[in-house]
Structure 1
Amino acid sequence: MRRKELIIINWSGILVFVNWFVFIYMLTIVIVYGFMLFISLLQIRRRYELDNVEPYEELLQSEYTKPVSILVPAYNESVGIYGTIRSLISIEYPEYEIIIINDGSKDDTLEKLISKFNLVKVNRVIRKQLDTKEIKGVYQSEIYSNLIVLDKENGGKADALNAGINLSKYPYFCSLDGDSIIERNAFLKVLKPIIESDDEVIASGGSVRIANGCDIQNGDLISVGLSNKPIVVMQVIEYLRAFLTGRIGLSKNNLLLIVSGAFGVFSKKWVIEAGGYAHTVGEDMELVVRLHRLNKEKKQNKKIVYVPDPVCWTEAPEDLKFLRRQRKRWHKGLFDSLWKHKKLMFNPRYGSIGLFSMPYFFFIEFLGPLIELIGYISLVVSIFAGKIYFEYAIMFFLLSLIYGSIYSMAAVLLEEWSMERYPKVKHFTILFLVSLTETFWYRPLTVIWRVEGMVEMLLGKKGWGEMVRKGVSND
Structure 2
Amino acid sequence: MNVLNELLTVVGVITISYFAILNGLYLVFTAIAWRSLGRHLRGRAYSAAEEAFDSPFTPGITVILPAFNEAAGIVQSVHSLLALRYPRYEVVVVNDGSTDDTVARLTDAFELVGAHRAIRPSITTQPVASSFVSRRNPNLWVLDKANGGKADALNAGVAAAQHPYVCALDADALIETDALLRVAEPILDDPVHVVATGGIVRIANGSTIDHGRVTSVRLPSNPLAVLQVLEYFRAFLIGRVGWTRMNALLIISGAFGLFQREAVEEVGGFATDTVGEDMELVVRLHRHFRARGLPYRIEFVADPVCWTEVPEDIASLSRQRRRWHRGLGQTLWRHRRAVGNPRYGAFGLVALPYFVLFEFLGPVVETFGAALTVVAFAVGDLSLRSFVGFLLLAFLVGIVLSIAALALEEFNFRRHPRTRDVVAMVLYSVLENFGYRQLNDTWRVVALVDLARRKQGWGTQRRRGIGNLAPRER
Q: Normalised by the size of structure 1, how large is the TM-score?
A: 0.96
Q: Structure 2 unaligned runs (5+)?
A: 470-474
How well do the aligned residues superpose, as a CA RMSD in angstroms?
1.5
Query: Number of paired residues?
Result: 468
- Determine which of 291, 303, 313 is the counterpart of 2:307: 313
Residues 67-466 of structure 1: matches in 2 within 5 Å? 67-279=60-272, 280-390=274-384, 392-466=386-460
Instruction: Give yes or no for contact 2:68–2:96 (8 Å, CA) kept in 1.
Output: yes
Contact 1:23 1:395 survives alignment (8 Å):
no
1:288-307 alpha-carbon deviations (Å, 9 max, x no partner): 00000000112111000000
Shift of 1:116: 1.1
8 A Cα contact 1:172 1:265, kept in partner: yes
Does the CA contact (< 8 Å) of 1:83 and 1:474 recur in 2?
no
Post-superposition offset of 1:383: 3.5
Residue 461 of structure 2 is aligned to residue 470 of structure 1: no
**Deviates most, 187-196 or 47-56:** 47-56
User: CA 1:474–1:394 in structure 2 vs 1: closer, same or farther (change >3 Å)?
Assistant: closer
- In structure 1, how many angstroms separate the alpha carbons of the residues matched to 2:275 and 2:85? 33
Change beyond 3 A, Cα 1:440–1:474: closer
* 1:138-164 residue CA offsets vs partner (Å, 9 max, x unmatched): 011111110000000000011001111
Q: For the Cα contact (< 8 Å) 2:49–2:188, is it kept in 1? A: no
Q: Does 1:27 align with 2:27?
A: no
Q: Is the 8 A contact 2:178 2:304 kept in 1?
A: no
Cα distance in 1 for residues equivalent to 2:426 and 2:58: 39
Q: Residues 125 and 310 (structure 1 numbering): CA distance in 2 closer, same or farther, change over 3 Å?
A: closer
Q: Check the 8 A contact 2:377/2:387 in 1, yes or no.
A: no
Shift of 1:54: 4.2
Structure 1 position 45 matched with structure 2 position 38:
yes
For 1:198, give the aligned amino acid.
P
Name the stretch that deviates more: 442-451 or 45-54.
45-54
* 3-state DSSP of counterpart to 2:184: helix
SS of residue matched to 1:23: helix
SS at 1:227 equivalent: coil
Query: Post-superposition shift, 1:384?
Result: 3.5
Q: Displacement, 1:22?
A: 1.6
- Tell me, in whole angstroms, the C-alpha distance in 1 between the residues paired with 2:230 and 2:58: 34
CA distance in 2, matches of 1:389, 1:79: 56
1:43 is matched by which residue type in structure 2?
Answer: S
1:33 is paired with a residue of what secondary structure?
Answer: helix
Deviation digits for residues 334-360 of structure 1 (CA, Å, limit 9, x no counterpart): 111111011111111111111111101
CA contact (8 A) 1:209 1:310 kept: no
2:472 matched to which residue of 1? none
Alpha-carbon distance between aligned partners in 1 of 2:430 and 2:258, rounded to the nearest angstrom: 34
**Partner SS for 2:433:** helix
* CA displacement 1:27-51 (0-9 Å, x = unmatched): 1111000000000000001101111
**Which amino acid is the alignment partner of residue 126 of structure 1?**
I
Which amino acid in the other structure matches residue 256 of structure 1? L
Moved over 4 A (4+): none
- Identify unmatched segments of 5+ residues in structure 1: 1-7
Tell me the distance in 1 between the aligned counterparts of 2:143 and 2:89: 16
Judged with a 3 Å threshold, the aligned counterparts in structure 2 of structure 1 residues 59 and 17 are, in CA distance, closer, same or farther, namely same
> Within 2, Cα distance between the matches of 1:133 and 1:399?
52
Higher deviation after alignment, 123-132 or 84-93: 123-132
Per the TM alignment, residue 391 of structure 1 is displaced from its structure 2 partner at its CA by 5.6
Residues in 1 aligned to 2:159 and 2:304: alpha-carbon distance in whole angstroms: 29
Describe the SS at the equivalent of 1:311.
strand
Q: Which amino acid aligns with 2:33?
A: S
User: Tell me, what secondary structure is at the counterpart of 1:195?
Assistant: helix
CA drift at 1:53: 4.4
CA distance in 1, matches of 2:51, 2:25: 38
Local SS of the residue matching 1:330: helix
Fraction of identical pairs, as percent: 43
* Cα pair 1:117 1:141 within 8 Å, conserved: yes
Using the TM superposition, give the Cα deviation of residue 310 of structure 1 relative to its aligned residue in structure 2, in angstroms.
Answer: 4.6
Q: What CA distance in whole angstroms lies between the structure 2 residues aligned with 1:396 and 1:216?
A: 44
* Alignment-mate amino acid for residue 190 of structure 2: S
**Structure 1 residues 372-381 or 384-393, which shifts more?**
384-393
Cα distance in 1 for residues equivalent to 2:447 and 2:256: 24
Which whole-Å CA distance do the structure 2 matches of 1:140 and 1:361 have between them? 43
Equivalent position amino acid for 2:387 in 1: A
